[in-house]
Each structure stands twice: as C-alpha cells, then as structure tokens.
Chains A and B, each alone.
Chain A
Amino acid sequence: MAAPKKGRGAAGGQSRPGRALAFILIAMVALTGGMFWSGHTTPRLGIDLAGGTSITLKAKAEPGQESAVNETNMNTAVGIIERRVNGLGVSEAEVQTQGRENIMVNIPRGTNEKQAREQVGTTAQLYFRPVLTVADGAPPAAPSATPSGSASGTPSAKPSSSASGASVGEKSATPTATATTQGRAVSEALKAPSPTPTASSSTSAKPQATGTPQATPSADAATVALQQKFATLNCLDPKQRAAAGQGVKPTEPTVACGEDNPGVWAKYLLGPAEVEGKDVDDAKGQFDQQRGMWIVTMDFTDEGSKKFQSITGKLSQQADPQNRFAIVLDGQVVSAPSVRQTLSASAEISGNFNQESAQDLGNILSYGALPLTFETQSVDTVTAALGGDQLEAGLIAGAIGLALVIIYLVAYYRGLSLVAILSLGVSAVLTYVIMALLGPAIGFALNLPAVCGAIVAIGITADSFIVYFERIRDELREGRTLRPAVERAWPRARRTIMVSDFVSFLAAAVLFIVTVGKVQGFAFTLGLTTLLDIVVVFLFTKPIMTMLAKTKFFGNGHPWSGLDPKRLGAKPPLRRTRRATAPAAADPKEA
C-alpha cells in the first residue's frame, strides 16, 4: 500500500472512468470464469463447517535441544504425519505447519477419528530391528500353515505349528543354513522366554510348555498370530501396509512392509528393536567418491554405539537374511541393509541409493534421533450436522448484517446508496470467487472465524464509501456542483481510505504471521477483504461516481439522490476556488 501522501491530484480517475470499470469487469468475469473452469465453484470448507476432525500438535523441545524445533524438522514431521494419516485411507487429510512449532492435521469426516488421533499424536518411531524373515510383498496363494496352527488345541502343539508358519514365511528367503543357527537367531530376536518357532529347538520349548501354563499359551498364541499375520500380509495393499507395524511395542517382534525399489514391496518378520532412533546422533546421505555411489552415514550416541556394537556383532555372524537389520520408521521398513562386520560408533549404509533416497534416509535417521516429540494441543471434532448449522448461522448472520447495513445506507444516503450497494456487491463477488479459487490454489479453507472475518469486513468496506460520500457532501456544502465535488473529494477521501485500510491490513498481516489456528483464518479473511476494499473503491466506486455525476438524477441533486444541495445545506455557489486547507467555518461553540 502506498504512502498516503501521494498527491497525484484528482485528474487520475476523472478522465476515463470507463477504463477502470471495464478493467474490474474483465477481472471479475475472468476470475468467475476461472472458478467455473477449475470446477471449484464453492470455497473449500474448513473442518468446523464441513465436519471432521482437526488436531493441533505442538512440538516440544527437550531441555538442551531447543534448536531441534526448526523448520527442517517440522517439515520432516509433517511428511511423516501425513504418511501416517493418509495410511489410514484418508487421501484428503491435510497436514501443515502453523507458526514455528505447531502442526495442524485436518481430517475430513468419515475417517476413524480415534485411530487418526492415536496415529498423529505419537512421535515418529524409528527402530533398528533384526530381520528374521523376508518375503515378497504379496501373500502366498495358499496359506496352508494357518489352519494347522489353529486346529491344535494343546499348548505343546503350538511350537510345531508356528514352525510351519515360519517356513511359509521363508518361502523366498534363503533356506536356513543350519537348524541351530536359525534357532539361535530367532530365539535371540524374540528375546522373551517363549518357545522359539522352530521345530529344532524343541528342548527349549518343552520346559515352558509345562512350566507356566497361564503365560505360555498367550505367548504361543502371540507367536502364532504373528506368523499368521506375516503369512497373510499383503504389502501391495496400502491399508494393510500402514496397519502392519502399527501399535507394536519395540520389545515385541513384528511384521512390516518395506519398499525395496520403487513399487517393489517386500514383507519382513522382525525381531524386537535393538537400537532406537534416539540412539542415532546424526545421519546424512553422502556421495562416496571412492566407490562412486551414494551412501548414508550414521553416527551413534555413546549408548547407541554400545547397543549397535552388540547387535552388529551378532548379526554379522548370521547368514542372509538374518544378518540384516531393518530400519523401521513408523512401522515401515525404510531400508534393510546387511551387516558384514561388527560396527560401533559410526556406520554406513550402502545400497541401491541415488542422491534423493540417500538424503531422505539420512533425514529420516536424523529425525528419529531428534527429540522432537509432539503434544496434542486441541482436538476438534465437528459433526456434519453441527458444522452445517454453524455455516447456516454464519450465512444468516452475514445476510442480516448486510441487510442492516443496506437499510441504513439507503435511509441515510438515498440514491447514493445504490453506489454503495453495487460496490458491496462487487466486493462480495470478488471475495467469494477468490476464496473459491484459493481453496485449490493454496489450500485455503473457509472456517467459522473466516466467515466472521468476512462479515466484519462488510462494515470495513462500507466505511470506505462513507468516507468518500461524506467528503463529496462536504464539497457540495461548499457550494460546488456535483461533478467537481466528486473529483475534489476523491484525493482526500482516497488518502483517508488508504491510511485507515493500511492500518487494518497491518493488523491482519501481523496476526496472520504471528498467530496460529483459528486466529489465522480470521486474519487472512480480514486482510483479503481489506485489499479487495481498496481495489473496489479505486476501480469501481470512484469511476461509477464519476459516471453517475453526469446523470441528471444525481447531477442535478434530485431530492432522492442523497446529493441534494438544498438538503445538504449548501452555500451559494463560490465565485472562485478556495484554499483547500482553510478552515471553513466559524469557531465551534458549545451546543
């Protein structure tokens, strides 16, 4: 917005009012056409009007790690949360940062809101789990193992049934080197003193079956369930993929999917987590000059080094696939490199990386290492009925407000109010069309505060006309005829309008930048309508006044025009132009 002191004089809009009117008409037609062409003929409604759930999360900085809450981490978090929420089968869910430390998640209605909340609120979980089995992403055609498992009723039968489950899972993996190796790997992986799912380790299974009858069946059942889950898991199905590794404690084995190459999915049976994301100090994707390939390097914390040393020590002695450890982020295998030697403080992951995938993995590893946890600030679930009611109430309120303003303007300004009403109309059309277009363009969603902002803006817009009209009437009172009055009033009214609109816009802009959530939606609408007010006053109200001043009805000051010099108490016509700045009348006196 320009400085108010621009003294360009009145001549600007005087000569060609038609040009400005044509311009704004073309703009309106173009925008409206664009709206219909794009197919978004209504503004996108926010959760509070359309129904749905809106969750606000705040990043919590751990003591000493305050700098962790930065833009990069926030964006990574947005990406991860988006993946989680959309994994629930909601394609329209939107996740965006708000301010410096907030993330807002909007989930349209029709989703499992509870599940969404659970998914969203938790920190990104990054774990390193040993790989027990790998298989193709799709489930086998005939999962023959499962019926036998469920058929056997006695606890002692279970180890054998789960063993067969495991063998199904190993379908594509390399056959086990020796029975003992496999037994060791799996028993280590499962950690809990439960029977190992291998037939060869029957010695270890027996005592437990007899020992604690209450605990063992459940442990067995869990193992069986896991085997079964692994057998039936279909990684080609996005829903199953997302659900696979969810809600599993790090201390328990799990199944998970991973994308080995773009579009190629594999499923994994994984042991309990050995190293956690917080054990990673730093990670980044780098280009290895010597080998000419992209790798990901990781540095561990002290504790992480110890853990990593121990796990790699064990894994390096295994055969494939049990020498691999899976990097699992939010239940999905990001990468599953094999371990060739014992590693400690730092490690590198090499594989089929390109620059992007290496850097991505680096980010993910670093992110998991950062103490960026989120706290749920607010959860707003609005039913469709309530949202509809509120939208309706907002529209009725807006209509009533508009009607009241129009009644007042008509009563006070008579014919002149026509200009105000037309201008308000132009303003309303522009606001609506721009809001509708901003939906697909920048994700603008009309929420309740935004509706309020638009209603309040009726007053702001009308204020500008009042400033101009009163100026014109002042000029008429000086004894001028309408045409010069319209032109003389304009530069001064223009300055006043610019200054006061600038203040309004400043308030809106500051609020939009500083605040979050609902306040932001309100500020956006207010700022938008203030800008449109200027556009409308300059390109519509002023030119149309210039044109109307030429008409008989207004120009001659018809009693109903609102510009009747007699009514306004005009003085007799002036002989010459008087100074603009001179005080016009006598001293004020007390009434």
Chain B
Amino acid sequence: MSKLGDLGARLHRGEVGYDFIGNRKIWYGLSILITITAIVALAVRGLNMGIEFQGGAVFTTPKSEVSVSQAQEYAEEASGHDAIVQQLGNGSLRIQVGGLDTAQSDQVREELAKDLNVPEDKIAAELVGPSWGEQIATKAWTGLGIFMILVVIYLAIAFEWRMAVAALIALIHDLTITVGIYSLVGFEVTVGTVIGLLTILGYSLYDTVVVFDSLKEQTKDITKQTRFTYSELANRSINGTLVRSINTTVVALLPVAGLLFIGGGVLGAGMLNDISLSLFVGLAAGAYSSIFIATPLVADLKEREPSIKALKKRIMVKRAAAAAKGEPLDAADDLPGEAAVVGPRASRHGAQEHRG
C-alpha cells in the first residue's frame, strides 16, 4: 500500500508520468475494438433476458428432499414450459419457468407445493407479465436519456462543452462495454442488471469529473504561459489524480465485491447478485474510460481550438529554438512566482506526437 503512496508522491513531483495522452490512439483503438466486439456480440448473440422481460415465474422453495433434476421434471410437468432449476447456497431451490402468465403461475405454484411436499405458503413466487420488463426497460431508457441531457448541460456549464461531450462519449462507452460483456458471457439480464447499469451513470462520471476538475484547474491560465501544451497539462492532470482515481475505484469496488460475493455465495442468483455484477463490470469500465478515453478526448477536442493551436505552435517554436541553442528547457520558465522545479528533462517526442 505504501508503494501506492510513494507512487502518489512521485507522480505528484512528476518523477513518474504515464503518457496517457500520447498513447491515446492505442486506447482509442482498444476501446473501438471492444465496442465493436460488444456491438457484434449483441447483434449475434443478443442478451440473455431474464423472466422479467419474457414473462414467467421464479419460485424459490425451502430446502427439500427433491433433487434438482427431479424438481425440474416436476416444474415442467406442472407448467408445460421449460424450467431452469438451481440449487441455492442454503439448500433451497430456485425454479424458473418462462412463458407463464401471472394467472397460470398460481396453479404451477400449487402443484409444485404438492410435488415437493412443502407448504404452498413457504414457496416464494415472483410472477411477471411479459410487458413488465419492457416497461422497466423503457423507463430506464427514458431516465438514461434525460440524465444524459441534463448531465451534458451541467458539465457544459460547470466545465465546458468539450468536457461534457467527452464525458458523454465515455459514459456511452462504459454502458456499451458492460452490455457487451453481458452478451458475451451470457449473464442473465434482470431488473437488477438494469438498476446496476443505471447506477453506473452517476458513478462512471464520478472519476471523470474528478479528473476534469483537476484539468480545469491546471489549464486555467494556459494561454499565459508557453511551457506546456494543453495535452501535456491534460496528461499531468490524469497523472496527478491517478492515485485518487485508483483509490476511489478500489473503494467503490470493494463493497460491490462484497455484494457480489455474498449475493452469489449465499443466495445463489438474485437481485443482490444482478445489481453487483453489472456494477462491478460497469465501475471497472468507468475507471478505465475516465483515464484513457474521456480526458484524451478533451485534449483532442481542445487542441482544435485556435488559441490552443497557436499556443502549441509558440511552444514548438520555442522548444525548437531552445534545442538549437542547446539550452535546458526549464530555463524557459516564464511562470511568475513559480518556484524552480528541478525535474527530469522533458522528453520531446511526447509533445511532437500531438501535432497531428
């Protein structure tokens, strides 16, 4: 742990710096690749929609003598539909029957109680009509849309439109990846998954906002100096907030991991598990995108701005002149009141790469 602290110190002093912006094309490529994979997976494999979206019933029975395969037989006999039976951690059975409507499912529950020899009121039942999931999904999409519009407006006011756009792209990126992973692995999509996905909304942006906040601060008087390009300062912001980002992500993931572990370990499948799984995937994607996608995108957008472009040109000219004279770069410090910082020489290729 203290190593991370050391890293924090070294990052802060600039002894260590990762060139996130310089290598952005790699990350963009990686993200585009993942996104395409996600979309293809979604198109080809689709999503494994839970009964909430198809209509059907989930019965949870108390611990009984009946085996899983036996229970499946009973359930299929009683309902006339395919049934999926899982044994849960505490010995109870989870019987999922698709295609039932809410009226039929009552009868199935009665018969199951008889077959499994347990009292009917000891069997929990979740009966879902086919349009319920659709309604939740529609509302979730509506919520997502409204949230995106509001958050873009807010970020555009609090920061600027470029950051809002970059944050939005990163958010869509996170959601796509999460959905793609669901499609690839074949995890079941339930209402819990939808809840988890929606939570990523706020959370994915949390890290992004932390980096943007630092970026905004660092670049406040950017045109008054000729030492750093926007991209370099952006990179510095990422590095400066790296420890913070790692810590917040780890701390956010820990409770979710607890949920995932307990949800899966004790109760088998269920709401706890569904929410935590999508959160876990989404949070990880969110942490990645805030560092590798959102901030580089801001830098890219920003570098198109005339004043920033001009600044970069001035810096390049200055650096070229300095290099010709063989002067050390730090002598060109023109920030008033800046305490002299003795750091390692800047490698120039990072800056030159941004020219494109």
Q: Residues on A close to B: CB < 8 A? A: 3-5, 48, 56, 58, 99, 102, 114, 117, 375-383, 385-386, 389-390, 393-394, 396-402, 404-405, 408-409, 411-412, 448-449, 451-453, 455-456, 458-460, 462-463, 466-467, 470, 473-474, 477, 492, 495-496, 499-500, 502-508, 510-511, 513-519, 522-523, 526, 567-569, 571, 574-576, 578-591
Known: A390-B267, A470-B247. A405 touches B254 (CB 8 A): yes
Question: CA A514 – CA B150 in complex, angstroms?
Answer: 14
- CB pair A460–B252 under 8 Å, yes or no, is yes
Contacts A/B (CB < 8 Å), 14 sampled? A5-B158, A378-B127, A378-B129, A452-B275, A456-B252, A456-B259, A503-B155, A507-B202, A510-B146, A517-B191, A578-B338, A579-B335, A587-B350, A590-B22
CA of A451 to CA of B147, assembled, Å: 23
User: Chain B residues near A5 (CB, 8 Å)?
Assistant: 158
Instruction: Give me the 9 closest cross-chain CB pairs, A-B, nearest first.
Output: A586-B343, A401-B255, A588-B17, A585-B14, A587-B346, A569-B9, A507-B202, A401-B258, A459-B252
The answer to whether B271 and A518 have CB atoms under 8 Å apart is yes
Check A588 against B122 for contact (C-beta < 8 Å).
Answer: no
Q: Say yes or no for B38: interface residue by CB 8 A criterion.
A: no
| Cα(A58)–Cα(B202), bound, Å | 29
Q: B186 near A: Cβ within 8 Å? A: no
**Contacting pair A466 B254 (CB below 8 A):** no
Interface positions, chain B 262-321, Cβ under 8 Å from A, are 262-263, 266-267, 270-272, 275-276, 279
**Other 15 A-B pairs with CB < 8 A, given A393-B272, A582-B335:** A3-B158, A4-B158, A117-B106, A378-B127, A383-B123, A383-B124, A390-B271, A397-B272, A460-B203, A510-B146, A514-B143, A584-B13, A586-B343, A587-B329, A588-B17
Question: Is A583 in contact with B218, judged by CB distance below 8 angstroms?
Answer: yes
From B14, B52, B271, B336, A584 is in contact (CB under 8 Å) with B14
Contact B251 A584 (CB under 8 A): no
Known: A463-B252, A477-B9, A516-B139. A400 touches B206 (CB 8 A): no
Given A383-B122, A449-B275, CB of A514 within 8 Å of CB of B258: no
Whether the Cβ atoms of A404 and B255 lie closer than 8 Å is: yes
Q: In the assembled complex, how far is the CB of residue A528 from the closest CB belonging to chain B, in whole angstroms?
A: 13
Q: How far apart are the CA atoms of A449 and B272 in the complex, in Å?
A: 7
Task: Chain A residues near B154: list those with CB within 8 A.
Answer: 502-503, 506
Q: Out of B102, B195, B239, B330, name the residue touching A379 (CB < 8 Å).
A: B102
Contact assessment for A393 and B195 in the assembled complex, using a CB-CB cutoff below 8 Å: no
Q: Which of A456, A504, A515 contacts B140 (CB under 8 A)?
A: A515
Q: With A and B bound together, what is the CA distance between A535 and B125 in angstroms?
A: 40
Are A455 and B220 within 8 A (Cβ)? no
The verdict on B236 contacting chain A, using a C-beta distance below 8 Å, is yes
The residues of B that contact A114 with a CB separation of less than 8 Å are 106
B16, B228, B251: residue with the most chain A Cβ atoms closer than 10 Å: B251
| CB <8 Å contact, A405 and B266 | no
- Tell me which residues across on chain A come within 8 A of B78, comparing CB atoms: none
Q: Would you give the shortest CB distance from B251 to chain A, in whole angstroms? A: 4
Q: Chain A interface: which of B40-48, B66-74, B209-217?
A: B209-217
Which listed residue (B19, B22, B213, B247) contacts A412, Cβ 8 A? Answer: B247
B31 on the A face (CB < 8 A): no
In the complex, are the beta carbons of B250 and A408 less than 8 A apart? Answer: yes
- When the two chains form their complex, are residues A506 and B151 in contact, meaning their CB atoms are under 8 A apart? yes
Q: Interface code B207-242, partner A: CB below 8 Å = 1, 0 otherwise?
A: 001100110011011000001100011011001110
Closest CB in chain B relative to A268 CB, distance in Å: 31
B199 x A589 contact (CB < 8 A): no
Q: Inside 8 A of A582's CB, which chain B residues have their CB? A: 335, 337-338
Given contacts A389-B267, A590-B347, contact A584 B262 (CB under 8 A): no
Q: Contacts of B330 on A, CB cut-off 8 Å?
A: 586
Q: Is B128 an interface residue (CB 8 A)?
A: yes
CB of B205 to closest CB in A, whole Å:
5
A111: min CB distance to chain B, Å: 11
Q: How far is the CA of A453 from the CA of B272 in the complex (A)?
A: 10
Complexed CA–CA distance, A29 and B205 (Å): 35
Residue contact A586 to B14, C-beta cutoff 8 Å: yes
- CB neighbours (8 Å) of A506 from chain B are 147, 150-151, 154, 202
Chain B interface residue count, Cβ-Cβ cutoff 8 angstroms: 119
Known: A389-B90, A455-B258. A514 touches B337 (CB 8 A): no
A99 to B136, CA, bound (A): 11
For A530, give the chain B residue with the smallest CB separation.
Answer: B202
Give Cα A184 to B147, complex, Å: 67
Question: Nearest CB to that of A464 among chain B residues?
Answer: B248
B205 x A376 contact (CB < 8 A): no
**A562 nearest CB neighbor, chain B only:** B5
Q: In the complex, A516 Cα to B131 Cα: how many Å?
A: 14
List the B residue with the shortest CB-CB distance to A518: B191
- Contact of B178 with A by CB under 8 A: no
Given A393-B263, A466-B244, A496-B210, does the pair A515, B232 have CB atoms closer than 8 Å? no
Knowing A397-B259, A568-B9 are in contact, say whether A585-B271 is a contact too (CB < 8 A).
Answer: no
Cβ contact of B143, chosen from A474, A510, A574, A580, cutoff 8 A? A510
Cβ of B194 under 8 Å from chain A? yes
Chain B residues with Cβ under 8 A from A508's Cβ?
202
Q: Report if B135 contacts A (CB, 8 A).
A: yes
Chain A residues positioned under 8 Å from B1 (CB to CB): 411-412
A140 to chain B minimum Cβ distance, whole angstroms, is: 38
* Residues of B contacting A515 in the complex (Cβ-Cβ under 8 angstroms): 136, 139-140, 143, 198
Contact assessment for A99 and B209 in the assembled complex, using a CB-CB cutoff below 8 Å: no
In the bound assembly, the distance between CA atoms of A402 and B262 in angstroms comes to: 13
Determine if B6 and A569 form an interchain contact, defined as CB atoms under 8 angstroms apart: yes
Query: Does A578 contact B150, Cβ atoms closer than 8 Å?
Result: no
Measured between beta carbons, the chain A residues less than 8 angstroms from B339 are 574-575, 578
* Chain A residues within 8 Å of B183, by CB: none
Q: Contact partner of B220 among A459, A568, A581, CB < 8 A?
A: A581
A517 and B255 contact, CB distance less than 8 A: no
In contact, B158 and A492 (Cβ under 8 angstroms): no
Q: Shortest beta-carbon distance, A452 to chain B, in Å?
A: 5
> Do the beta carbons of A456 and B346 come within 8 Å of each other?
no
Contact check: which of A456, A503, A516, A588 meets B136 at CB < 8 Å? A516
The docked-state distance in angstroms from the alpha carbon of A48 to that of B250 is: 30
Asked, given contacts A401-B256, A412-B4, whether A588 binds B350 with beta carbons under 8 Å apart, the answer is yes
Bound-complex Cα distance A475 to B210 (A)? 17
Kindly list chain A residues whose C-beta atoms are within 8 Å of the C-beta of B198: 507, 511, 515, 519, 523
**With A378-B132, A383-B122 given, is the CB distance from A400 to B262 under 8 Å?**
yes
- Kindly state the separation between the CA atoms of A455 and B92 in the bound complex, as whole angstroms: 25
Question: Is B169 part of the binding interface, using a Cβ–Cβ cutoff of 8 Å?
Answer: no
Q: Which residues of A contact B60 (CB under 8 A)?
A: 383, 386
User: Which chain B positions have C-beta within 8 A of A4?
Assistant: 158, 213
| B352 in the interface (beta carbon within 8 A) | no
Complex Cα gap A417–B215 (Å): 27
Task: Please report the C-alpha to C-alpha distance between residue A1 and residue B137 in the assembled complex, in whole angstroms.
Answer: 29
Compute how far the CA of A397 lies from the CA of B155 in the bound complex, rounded to whole angstroms: 34
- How far, in angstroms, from A401 to B60 measured CA to CA in the complex? 26
A576 CA to B13 CA, complexed, in Å: 19
| Residue B253 CB within 8 A of the other chain | yes
Report the minimum CB–CB distance from A495 to chain B (whole Å).
7
Q: Which residue of A lies closest to B14 (CB)?
A: A585
B2 / chain A contacts, CB cutoff of 8 Å: 567
Expressed in whole angstroms, the minimum distance between the Cβ of A571 and any Cβ of chain B is: 8
Write the nearest CB–CB distance from B110 to chain A, whole angstroms: 9
Q: Are B255 and A456 in contact (CB under 8 A)?
A: yes
- State whether A383 and B121 are in contact (beta carbons under 8 Å apart), knowing that A377-B131, A526-B202 are contacts in the complex: yes
B202, A474: Cβ atoms closer than 8 Å? no
**Nearest neighbor of B62 in chain A, beta-carbon distance:** A385
Name the residue of chain B whose CB is nearest to the CB of A459. B252
Which of B157, B235, B279, B337 has a CB less than 8 Å from the CB of A456? B279
Given A500-B210, A584-B341, A590-B22, residue A402 in contact with residue B255 (CB < 8 A): yes
B209, A499: Cβ atoms under 8 Å?
yes
Docked CA distance A380–B129 (Å): 11
